[in-house]
Amino acid sequence: MSDTPSPDFSGLEGGAEQQATDIVRDVVSWYNTQLIAERRSPVPDEERVEALKAGRQAALEDQARLEEADAQETARIAAAYAARLKELKES
């Protein structure tokens, strides 16, 4: 391994798509963490578990849609998930 810094690809085409994918992945990760915690609690709240699973599934579906999305749809998904992630972390 070298100590050379990683190249910055942010200016290349595909950067927005990767950023959107990363944001959606962060939301999926948040849902996974919450699901694990809820399932490990002494008395899991089944309604919350189902809500978390539904939220995670919606995020996974949007993540899959990013593969075919145009630039406008990618930007819309990225903005929506950035706002959702902020909201989830504040709750």
Query: What is the structure's pLDDT at 4?
Result: 46
Structure tokens, 11? 């200016």
Question: Model's pTM, two decimal places?
Answer: 0.80
Backbone φ and ψ for 68, nearest 5 degrees, come out as -110, -5
**Res. 55 pLDDT band, cuts 50 70 90:** very high
Rounded CA-CA distance 18/59 in Å is 15
**Res. 20 pLDDT band, cuts 50 70 90:** very high
Q: What is the pLDDT of residues 69-83, one digit of tens each?
A: 999 999 999 999 999
Structure tokens, 47? 């309604």
Start-to-end Cα distance in the chain = 40
